[in-house]
Amino acid sequence: MKELCLFILIIGISASALLAENRTPSIGIEGGLVQNFGSQYLGYAANPRSIQINNTGNTSLTIQSIDVPNGESAFVLINPPMPMNIPPGGSNLFWIVFMPTHLGTESDSLFICSDDPINPSLKVRLTGTGIYVPPAAVQNIQINTVGEDITLTWDAVTTTNFGLPLNPDWYVVLFSQQSAGVQYWTLAVTTQLTYTHQGVVTFAPSMFYRVKAVVFYRNEDAVRFDRLIESKAQFSEREIDELLDSFLKP
């Protein structure tokens, strides 16, 4: 009888020890170990973005530190209070601000130190894309009819969307014979602040216009734009917007 009790006691202790060994925290990152922050204008901070830490283990997870070691990183950590305790099956958030300083892809690494026995120092890759700031919208478009011609004038665009100094290379004039909500088409490009649509009154009872500023940050963009204009093809406003948007990207 004593031998049987001793055997049961040993089995019970072994099972308890095994259960204790299996009770561990397990760290995970919602969305994976590569976090993409998308595109953002150069020199301007995006809205803070959250990253979620999950604890998929069966005991509490303690986060000792979260750090972006690169002091000149485009990814700025909004320091969360430490330590951070996450219960089994729970989660918690911290925030990163992306502010690119270079055109194109920016990347860095973030490290999360915790008591996860498998991943005590978890590396998370941060990526994003810096793009140029577009020019401000053309303002104060005036339309004057002189005989059979329509003459447009507008104010010079002198800044980006965020007020930084800028000088456009071209202005694109678009037209439509119907009011807003329909497709506009390219009519002309000019470096001036005026354009005359000659003879239009004789064949169009009504005409609507838009003007967009164009800025080239790279020589190859200017060459590409010149080739399109020389082709004398007519482009929709959507196609022009896509082209101008491509000039902002790497």
The verdict on pTM exceeding 0.75 is no
Q: Which two tokens stand for residue 117?
A: 């026995």
Distance CA 75, CA 80 (A): 15
Q: What is the pLDDT of residues 156-214, one digit of tens each?
A: 999 999 898 999 999 999 999 877 657 888 999 999 999 999 999 998 888 899 999 99
* CA dihedral sign of residues 48, 133, 103, 105: positive
The fold adopted by the segment(s) 142-247 is Immunoglobulin-like (2.60.40)
Q: Where are the domains of the chain?
A: 25-130, 142-247
Over residues 93-106, mean pLDDT:
94
**109, 108, 167, 160: which is closest to 134 by C-alpha?**
160
Confidence band, pLDDT 50/70/90 cuts, at residue 4: very low
Class of domain 25-130: mainly beta
pLDDT at 230: 80
Confidence band, pLDDT 50/70/90 cuts, at residue 53: very high
Confidence band, pLDDT 50/70/90 cuts, at residue 225: confident
Do the domains 142-247 and 25-130 match in fold?
Answer: yes
**Contact (CB, 8 A) for 35 and 51:** yes
Query: How many CA atoms are closer than 13 Å to the CA of 110, on its beta-carbon side?
Result: 27
How would you list the strands of the sheet with 84-86, edge to edge? 34-41, 121-131, 104-114, 61-67, 84-86
Per this entry, what is the length of the chain? Answer: 250
pLDDT at 181: 57
pLDDT at 198: 94
Distance CA 77, CA 34 (A): 16
Confidence band, pLDDT 50/70/90 cuts, at residue 21: low
If one counts every other C-beta atom within 10 angstroms of the C-beta of residue 7, the result is 10
